[in-house]
């Protein structure tokens, strides 16, 4: 998969639109099977896995991948958001407009003071359900 991703984006990255190449590379990485096992690459070692909890052995060696799509919940767009003190515009209002019904209320974010850090906003918000990240 690494070779496929590299061959897909290499020319664009070197000679064209680097931002596009990075974006496409990220999408391909996130869609790759290796990424779908929490970042750990799973390899077939040829050694049968120990199966516990069953009285009969499996009927076949068939394996499949189950994909769950869970809309909503915690995604990166609701984890850290620009909250206040933004230069030239109200970026929290932009967040609300972009996320629409998925936007969380401003009070659901804990303040992170970014004053003097070179960010476009002086206050960012971290999802209140993840205070450990603050």
**pLDDT tens over the chain, length 134 residues:** 677 778 888 887 888 888 888 888 877 777 766 555 444 445 567 776 676 777 777 677 766 677 666 565 566 778 889 999 999 999 999 999 998 988 999 999 999 999 988 888 999 999 888 877 76
Residues 78 and 127: beta-carbon distance below 8 Å: yes
What's the rounded Cα separation, in Å, for the pair 63 and 67? 13
CA 133 to CA 77: how far, in whole Å?
15
Residue written as token pair 């850290």: 80
Give the DSSP letter of residue 12.
H
Torsional class of 110: left (φ above 0), alpha (ψ -120 to 50), beta (otherwise): beta
């Amino acid at each position: 998969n690494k070779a496929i991703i590299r061959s897909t984006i290499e020319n664009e990255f070197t000679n064209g639109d680097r931002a596009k190449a990075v974006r496409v590379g990220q999408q391909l990485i996130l869609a790759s099977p290796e990424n779908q096992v929490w970042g750990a690459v799973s390899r077939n070692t040829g050694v049968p896995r120990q199966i516990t909890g069953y009285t009969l052995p499996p009927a076949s060696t068939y394996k499949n991948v189950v994909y769950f799509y869970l809309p909503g919940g915690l995604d990166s767009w609701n984890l850290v958001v620009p909250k206040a003190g933004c230069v030239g515009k109200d970026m929290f209002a932009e967040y609300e407009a972009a996320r629409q019904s998925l936007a969380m209320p401003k009070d659901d974010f804990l303040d992170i003071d970014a004053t003097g850090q070179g960010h476009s906003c002086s206050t960012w918000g971290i999802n209140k359900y993840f205070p450990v990240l603050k």
